[in-house]
Chains A and B, each alone.
Chain A
Amino acid sequence: MSIHSKAVPYLFLLPAVLLLLIFNLYPTVATLNQSLHAQSFISNKLIYVGLENFERILNDPIFWKSVQVTLVFSILVNPIQIVLALLLALLANQRVRGIALFRSIYLLPVAVSINVTTVVWGLMLDSDSGLINGILATLSLPKQPFLTAPSHALWSIILLATWKGVPLWALFFLAGLQGIPESVIEAAKIDGANRRQIFRLITLPLLRGVLLFVLVADTVANFLLIAPVYSLTQGGPQLSTNLIMFETYRRGFVYNDLSTSAAMLWVMLIFVLLVVLFQAFVLRRRG
């Protein structure tokens, strides 16, 4: 009986662990191995080169440009999405007439795939016939080269990511808000707290867990974004939307340099982990 019951939890864990071992851990480690090798031109065999691939990346201005683009993108897109999502959730959590309909409507983008999102926004942002330029024209404002100017393209990617991302993260915030007991808010109101105080002193602290989750998940999701860059800008114009993720794709699958691509992915993964741990650390300490 005791041997049996000791084995049970491992038995329950076995299928998941086995599957992850085969289809996640093994290929991930294999990528690390690839990053330490180079493809031989003659025999198609892998030759061990140590950290040479990493050295090459670190001396590559295109890589550093993509790091810069990724950093600017992250610093802009994550706060924009999180603030808007929180705002949306706060509004949707009110007891106003018609709020259920509103919730259903703003949730719609969550169901739309990134491929469809990209096509629709490509249409909206078109320089000649796009909707946004149409609106600008009626306001007698000049047309904007949304996807074709280095100064605009990254903002267009941010816009698209925000359209798809905000409702999703708002959903998590809304769930968190609904978990806050009404009595706590009522008590604060009786003590004379105004709305701003209630938000700062009660709502926000009670949302800390959700906030941490959304912050981390959103940061990771935006690091991994590739579809809109792939179909709308191909990293351009002038590398202005060349996010690291897209650069690794280009190295690996357009230039067929899988070893450099793998090394770049490792650099990025370590970076993402550092960012995520930093976020977790800061939020934990605040609370």
Chain B
Amino acid sequence: MTTVTADPAPPSTPSGRSARPSRLRRSWEKHWYAWAMVLPVVIVLAILIFYPLFRGIWLSLTNLTEANQAAEICTRSITGGEVCAENPNRWEFVGLDNYLNVLSGNVGDFWQWTGITLIWTLGCVVFHYGLGLGLAVMLNRPMWGRGLYRVLLVLPWAVPAFVSAFAWKFIFNERFGLANSLLTSLGIDPVDWFANQWTSLFTAIITNIWLGVPFMMVALLGGMQTIPGELYEAAEIDGASAWQRFRNITLPGLRPVSMTVILLGTIWTFNMFPIIFLVTEGQPAGGTEILVTGAFRAAFEGIRNYSLASTYGVLILSILLVFSMFYRRALRKQGEVW
């Protein structure tokens, strides 16, 4: 974990010839405005991300819950006085108990949730990227109505995610939803979408695809506009087909953008809370719970179990860190400096 400090005493400065105090001072004089510019963000991140992170890691090694957080238990006596005694069941350090409970399946369904999360993430990101790329290629050419198509296609992005979630839940309602009405009018029996694990997951994935394609499309369209037009002209003179131009110019030219949006998209989808939480609500019987929603329900429904929430958080973060490490290594192997 890299922590960032705005400490004006950096260990290394470019010029190493002068004596230490003056080097420090020169570094300060050279960089003070850069540090001043990033300082507010660093402070906010330090207080609200890094302190909570380390506190969360610590909490995951304890058994803190809503019920045992008090240091003292006070009881009012009949005379009106208050008697306080030390809480006998005060929360304490329990080592790796939480992790053992979660990973062995004693608490929650960690492995099932992980499986669903992987299906969910893979399904969403593949379709986000594929559809986004396809639409971007179609829009990246002069044609009639280009601006209009672009506005219409980006529109789902402008709708707040929770509104989209409600809209799709409404559409997939088993009694009066649009989806079943359309199926009935085509002569197909209506489907009870949220009664089956896979149809339920399907509705959530459809919702998220609808929601996420515009971002990919816009990012890839932006990337395509940085590819010089001369490359296409040269390829055309050499007699390259449209497919060859796409494979050998567009795709390589998009690589940097693609790598970033796929990484971000994967992380965002993995942690996407509102869609599953609102659309399927984990139905049927927790069958469509992904890690973040499952962890939330396990930890916050009933007596709030803070230590358990932290344990899940640490596990989720570890999975994502390992993933992005491998991802970056794979990129580096292919010569991508990033």
Q: Do A and B associate with each other?
A: no
Residues on A facing B (Cβ under 8 Å): none
Measured CB to CB, the residues of B under 8 A from A are: none
